[in-house]
Amino acid sequence: MKNKHLKNKKVIDIYPPHTLQEKEEPEKEKPASSQTEEVPVHINRFRAEEKEEYYPGEIEEPRNIEEEKAVRRPSLLTHRSGRSWLKIGGIIAFALAIYYLGFVAFVRANIFITTKKTTLPFSGVVLADRNVSEVKYSQGVIPANLFVFTESAKNNFISTGKGKDEKKAKGVITIYNNYSVSPQILVATTRFETPDHKIFRLDSRVVVPGASKVNGKLVPDSIDVKVTADKAGEDYNIPACHLPDCKFTIPGFAGTDKFKGFYGVSQNPMEGGSFSAIPMITSEDSKQAEDTIIQTLMKKIGADVKNKVPKNLTVLDGAKSSINITKIDSDASVGDKRKNFTVKGEGEVKVIAFKNSDLKDYIQSQLDTKKEKEYEYYKAPTITFQTVKPDFAKGTLKLTIQAKQQLRYHLDPQDLKLKVLGKKKNELKTLFQNIPGVKQVDVKIRPFWIRNIPSASSRVNLSID
């Protein structure tokens, strides 16, 4: 077995230099049945010459494979014992973690203390004045601010009325004088009548020239004049009217010889007559448009008061002036025959504002003499404004007020926290019963199975109301 194991070993330069030979002997063949086999040794001459003397130790004979496995592999008992210890260690570590989390890391205490409280009343008159910069406690005056907000508005509107579009036909007629050699004066609005009794009137005064005589006979003379229909409408848009079928007569000459001697004709039609309903601005349209502009101004100014007054200032309803409309104009008038019209306006409002904190400080300063030293002011006072009288010219606001100021017994939270650290929950009742000013105490500890207040101050939250 030893030789067989040795057969698989490789030997490298383990001989001293003086045992090296100049030449290597040829390897002898060995019988195949031999159980041992020599290991060839290759000698590096040059390497051997460079090395110093080297004396190897003994070659350790290899162990039996089965023996070697037995040495390396621990016993079954030892292996199972190691795993058991690991489980035990894990259980202990888990238990320690649970203990730390449940009894140390997550432990918190919240203590809510309600103190004894009382209320003091106050009533008086306070003046908010834009001309002072700080509270005058002895005079009852606090600073104020005066704001003036100016806005403009413009909008287009549609008229709802209906007007009459009355247009009269117009044209030109030629007046003939076939009556006399003398000229004839015709005044403005002189009537000319068609055969179907439509009346047209002269636009202006004219003089019809006299006729002339040729061989003892009258030769008529004429003049062109402008005329307008007596009434509006398309009925007066008539075609040309001329002899022999049509002529204009003068009704004013009816019953005289002039009636046949003076007449008129037209070479072109009369045109332009119409009668229809068209949009028209009514008084209601104008009023609604102005109201809309005023409402727009009010919304804009209201937004200014809300958004442009600093948030730390108080604006009371009675401290705002009514909107002063400084300008309102329309590009049209009532009765105008228009479909659209535009209205624009301008307005302003004045506002007096003050700091509520200044009013609170003044009220509390007046109550200092009535307050017991064990008590402190609790929150801001509740204020009722009975009268609000602004003077925008002076920039002042006179306030008649009634107030209620709540006070609570003073307790030091840090001192109380030091007293409760590490105490058992059932000990706190006795502790707080002996502290003046405490009305009620509510203690909450988590996790729920903890019965002691934590000893670390950071794990205790104490609040006072």
Cβ 204 vs Cβ 226: under 8 Å: yes
Identify each DSSP E strand in 334-459 by its residue range.
340-355, 375-377, 382-391, 396-409, 438-446
Span 140-153, pLDDT tens digits = 999 999 999 999 99
pLDDT at residue 8, as a whole number? 46
239-247: average pLDDT: 93
The answer to whether residue 48 scores a pLDDT higher than 70 is no
Q: How far apart are CA 205 and CA 190, in angstroms?
A: 8
Paired residues of 279 in beta bridges = 162
Angle among Cα 306, 396, 378 to the nearest 5 degrees reads 70
Cβ 229 vs Cβ 168: under 8 Å: yes
pLDDT winner (highest mean) among 80-84, 201-205, 371-375: 201-205
106-127: average pLDDT: 92
248-254: average pLDDT: 95
Distances (CA, A) of 357 to 260, 353, 362, 381: 103, 12, 9, 10
Which of the four pLDDT bands, split at 50, 70 and 90, describes residue 42?
A: very low
Q: How far apart are CA 142 and CA 303, in angstroms?
A: 26
The model's pTM is 0.55
pLDDT at residue 308, as a whole number? 93
Question: Tokens 């030629």, residue?
Answer: 174
pLDDT at residue 18, as a whole number? 44
The answer to whether residue 44 scores a pLDDT higher than 50 is no
Task: Sheet containing 438-446: give its strands across.
Answer: 438-446, 108-115, 460-464
The answer to whether residue 264 scores a pLDDT higher than 90 is yes
Cβ 128 vs Cβ 143: under 8 Å: yes
Span 400-448, pLDDT tens digits = 999 999 999 999 999 988 988 888 888 888 888 888 989 999 999 888 7
316-342: average pLDDT: 91
Higher pLDDT, 9 or 121: 121
Q: Which of 150, 114, 144, 112 is nearest to 129 (CA)?
A: 144
State both tokens at 83: 């795993």
DSSP category for residue 102: I
* Residue type present at position 455: S
Higher pLDDT, 162 or 92: 162
pLDDT at residue 86, as a whole number? 73
Q: How far apart are CA 226 and CA 213, in angstroms?
A: 27
Distances (CA, A) of 374 to 365, 419, 420, 434, 464: 17, 20, 22, 16, 15
284-295: average pLDDT: 93
Cβ 316 vs Cβ 386: under 8 Å: no
The answer to whether residue 293 scores a pLDDT higher than 70 is yes
Question: Tokens 């040794």, residue?
Answer: 41
pLDDT winner (highest mean) among 43-52, 74-83, 258-267: 258-267
State both tokens at 29: 């063949």
313-326: average pLDDT: 91
Which of the four pLDDT bands, split at 50, 70 and 90, describes residue 457?
A: confident
Count of Cβ atoms closer than 10 Å to residue 2 Cβ: 10
Q: Which phi and psi angles does 234 have, rounded to 5°?
A: -75, -15
The answer to whether residue 95 scores a pLDDT higher than 80 is no
Angle among Cα 156, 161, 167 to the nearest 5 degrees reads 110
How many Å is the Cα radius of gyration of the chain? 62
- Name the pairing type of β-strands 141-158 and 117-129: parallel
Q: How far apart are CA 432 and CA 404, in angstroms?
A: 29
State both tokens at 393: 């010219």
Cβ 396 vs Cβ 129: under 8 Å: yes
Cβ 179 vs Cβ 257: under 8 Å: yes
